[in-house]
Amino acid sequence: MQIHNLTEKNSILNTFISELRDVNVQKDRMRFRRNIERVGEVLGYELSKVLNYTPSDVKTPLGKSRVNLPQNDIVICSILRAGVPLHNGLLNYFDNSENAFISAYRHHKDNPEDFEIIVEYLACPNLDGKTLILADPMLATGQSLVSTYKALKPYGTPKEVHLVSVIGAKPGVDYVKKHFNENTHLWIATIDDELNDKGYIVPGLGDAGDLAFGNKLQH
């Protein structure tokens, strides 16, 4: 897997990440969603650099301009709920992409450390030969991304896979690395060292779905 950890270089992305992590700024739910979306825009821009381009002519009022344009058939797939603002950020740049949505949630068994990932809702176009962007803001244990990708198998074989995430944890990144092939790209804003015993990223930012959309009742 090719890992692109964007905070290895300083950029305005650091501002968005620090606001996402900040317990005070997090009180503003709209700003939280917009910052996830902005990170999606930045990661989408970086990802666009490795797409396939062919020359094309555009007619201006005064003549013709030659420009290289991306030719990939893109499918953006995000994991509900927290994936929604990240999805919107990617869609802001890849205007004509197709879209897939999948629900994956942690079903806790007898104790908080013990959970399995349940995939329920799935809407997806044909993936054969497409450029699949799989987006989830939190890459904690990595199980949601791996389970989601397995659930997408019946929809076809993408030409390439790009994982897009805001904050990852080292153990989760290692897990994902084991389950995706070496051509897969991971575009990630930053990677923290640890997970706590409940599978939350430390220092992370907390629960991205709840911060974006409010608490949900556990079942």
Ligand X SMILES: O=c1cc[nH]c(=O)[nH]1
3-state DSSP assignment of residue 197: coil
Give the pairing type, strands 53-60 and 63-70. antiparallel
Stretch that binds ligand X, among 54-62, 148-156, 179-187, 196-204 (CB under 6 A): 196-204
Nearer to Mg ion, 128 or 207 (CB): 207
# binding residues, ligand PRP (CB under 6 A):
22
User: Can you read off the two tokens belonging to residue 161?
Assistant: 């896979």
Place of tokens 């007898």: 110
- Contacts of ligand PRP in 52-91 (CB under 6 A): 79, 81-82
When CB distances are held under 5 to 8 angstroms depending on the partner's kind, the choice from ligand X, Mg ion, ligand PRP, none that residue 201 binds is ligand X
Cβ 89 to Mg ion shortest distance, Å: 18
Dihedral in degrees, nearest 10, Cα atoms 199, 203, 205, 209: 0
Cβ 130 vs Cβ 158: under 8 Å = yes
Q: Which amino acid is at 28?
A: D
H-type helices in the chain, by residue range?
Answer: 13-21, 29-48, 83-93, 143-152, 170-179, 208-213
User: Residue 204 interacts with ligand X (CB under 6 A)?
Assistant: yes
Nearest Cα neighbor of 89 from 32, 51, 127 is: 32
Question: Amino acid identity, residue 81?
Answer: R
Residue 181 Cβ vs Mg ion, minimum distance, rounded to whole Å: 28
Indicate which single residue of 39, 138, 164, 166 sits in contact with ligand PRP (rule: CB under 6 A): 138
Contact of 156 with 126, CB cutoff 8 Å:
yes
Residue 34 sits in the site that holds ligand PRP (CB under 6 A): no
Among 78, 141, 184, 190, binds ligand PRP (CB under 6 A): 141
Q: Is 208 in the site for ligand PRP (CB under 6 A)?
A: yes
Q: Is residue 207 near Mg ion by the rule CB under 5 A?
A: yes
Q: What angle do CA 171, 10, 91 make, to 5 degrees?
A: 75
Distance CA 63, CA 94 (A): 27
Of residues 160-179, those binding ligand PRP (CB under 6 A): 172
Residues lying near ligand X in the complex (CB under 6 A) = 82, 138, 140, 199-201, 204, 207-209
Residues lying near Mg ion in the complex (CB under 5 A) = 207, 209
Residues lying near ligand PRP in the complex (CB under 6 A) = 79, 81-82, 104-106, 117, 136-144, 172, 199, 207-210
